[in-house]
């Protein structure tokens, strides 16, 4: 199988890489220092808005929107993959180009399913990077890896819907720029299992919406973006805020999660690649037991294995992106499941080796690797746990090879 990306993709990837080298890597410490020392961990580091303005001025903006030429760059998923990998080399990289989750998925939902009024009010400000958003699906009371378990109630009341429920791990909700949430809940518990749920737009400042607390990942609150527990108590919004039709929530979620999953995999390949490069630089400049670490056989083995594993995941990601472009996301669900299983585990393993090569420094704030490791481990749960994807993939393969 031959996969090649277009000259447009290569040109944009080179421009993104140059921008990262010139602006983003040097801004990482400034960004972190603001979060740690400003006195308000949830205030936005000014350097981020400066970087976004520069990226937008250079036309490196909304590069992810496959299928929607009128909103984004018109790149296919395959063409976007090398760009997303390059952005993923920094934990702040994707946001700089307005290509970070959960906004990417929410913008795709609004572009595909939103009414013209919904697009005007929420999609356009998101495309401009003026606001941010959240996607509220996961709940503490049920196993949310099965989306049909969701219990939050979305009940019609005249010209409104009233929402009651508790969500958690709602990424981006604590961000002061977050103005809108897409909330998933049940509109008809008596309907067929996959038609009980709907998605609805809820402005964060709507009465009854309470940010209960930020959730911590390995002890970090991921400020100023964060992940929140959110309580919805008699939250009333206009019926016109419903996305699509009643009962279409599950189908919309599946369409949203396909691109979201592969975007995470693209970014994680960038995390792993940068970690490998840092590992090589570190071991070449450290001496232990009379010789460079780079001369130790076990270190060389770790480097070789890491390079092989990154390249395998990269090629599988490109193949998945290409298959998504050739048909529907449903047609590509088998290979999307494969890369969602492979890439986070690969990144976690490679980053762990790089951390080990750095000694205690690898666990500290002096490199990006500890945060990248937490990201890789998180993605093994986010957008569907490993076990769900393995179960689904195994079921598909048994059916394929026995029918």
Answering whether pTM is above 0.85, one says yes
Average pLDDT over residues 122-142: 97
pLDDT of residue 4: 74
What tokens appear for 391 in the block?
């179960």
Residue 1 pLDDT exceeds 60: no
Domain 133-243 has CATH 2.60.40.1120: no
Question: How far is residue 358's CA from residue 351's CA, in Å, rounded to a whole number?
Answer: 11
Please write the tens of the pLDDT for every residue from 165-189: 999 999 999 999 999 999 999 999 9
DSSP code at position 361: G
Element at 132 (helix H, strand E): strand 132-136
Torsion sign across C-alpha atoms 386, 389, 395, 397: negative
Please write the tens of the pLDDT for every residue from 272-329: 999 999 999 999 999 999 999 999 999 999 999 999 999 999 999 999 999 999 887 7
Helical residues (DSSP H) of 198-332, grouped into ranges: 249-284, 297-326
Average pLDDT over residues 243-261: 88
Q: Comparing 47 with 146, which gets the higher pLDDT?
A: 47
pLDDT of residue 66: 64
CATH class belonging to 7-114: mainly alpha
The fold adopted by the segment(s) 250-402 is: Butyryl-CoA Dehydrogenase, subunit A; domain 3 (1.20.140)
73 pLDDT band, cuts 50/70/90, is: confident
Q: How many CA atoms lie within 13 A of 145 on its CB side?
A: 14
What tokens appear for 135 in the block?
């996607």
> Would you list the domain boundaries of the chain?
7-114, 133-243, 250-402
Strand intervals (E) in 151-293:
153-157, 160-171, 178-186, 197-203, 209-214, 227-238, 242-243, 287-288, 291-292
Average pLDDT over residues 20-37: 97
Tokens 């009940």 belong to residue: 155
Dmax (CA) of the chain: 78
10 pLDDT band, cuts 50/70/90, is: very high
């Amino acid at each position: 199988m031959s996969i090649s990306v277009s000259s447009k993709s290569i040109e944009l990837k080179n421009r993104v890489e140059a921008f990262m080298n010139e602006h983003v890597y040097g801004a990482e410490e400034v960004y972190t220092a603001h979060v740690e020392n400003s006195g308000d961990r949830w205030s936005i580091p000014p350097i981020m808005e400066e970087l976004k303005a520069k990226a937008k001025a250079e036309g490196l903006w909304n590069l992810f929107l496959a299928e929607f030429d009128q909103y984004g760059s018109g790149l296919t998923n395959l063409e976007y993959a090398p760009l997303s990998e390059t952005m993923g080399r920094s934990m702040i990289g994707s946001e700089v180009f307005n290509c970070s989750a959960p906004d990417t998925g929410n913008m795709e939902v609004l572009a595909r399913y939103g009414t013209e009024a919904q697009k005007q009010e929420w999609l356009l400000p998101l495309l401009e990077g003026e606001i941010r958003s959240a996607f509220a699906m996961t709940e503490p009371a049920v196993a949310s890896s099965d989306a049909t378990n969701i219990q939050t109630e979305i009940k019609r009341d005249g010209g409104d819907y009233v929402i009651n429920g508790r969500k958690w791990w709602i990424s981006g909700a604590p961000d002061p720029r977050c103005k809108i949430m897409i909330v998933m809940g049940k509109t008809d518990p008596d309907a067929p299992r996959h038609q009980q749920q709907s998605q609805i737009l809820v402005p964060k400042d709507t009465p009854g919406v309470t940010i209960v607390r930020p959730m911590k990942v390995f002890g970090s609150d991921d400020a100023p973006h964060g992940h929140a527990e959110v309580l919805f108590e008699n939250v009333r919004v206009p019926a016109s805020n419903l996305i699509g039709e009643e009962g279409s929530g599950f189908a919309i979620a599946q369409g949203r999660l396909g691109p979201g999953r592969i975007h995470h995999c693209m970014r994680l390949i960038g995390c792993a690649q940068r970690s490998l490069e840092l590992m090589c630089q570190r071991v070449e400049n450290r001496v232990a037991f009379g010789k460079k670490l780079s001369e130790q056989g076990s270190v060389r083995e770790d480097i070789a294995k890491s390079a092989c594993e990154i390249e395998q995941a990269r090629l599988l990601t490109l193949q998945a992106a290409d298959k998504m472009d050739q048909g529907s996301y449903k047609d590509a669900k088998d290979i999307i499941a494969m890369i969602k299983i492979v890439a986070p585990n690969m990144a976690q393993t490679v980053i762990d080796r790089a951390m080990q090569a750095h000694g205690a420094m690898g666990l500290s704030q002096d490199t990006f690797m500890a945060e990248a490791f937490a990201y890789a481990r998180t993605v093994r749960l986010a957008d569907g746990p490993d076990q769900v994807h393995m179960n689904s993939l195994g079921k598909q393969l048994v059916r394929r090879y026995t029918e």
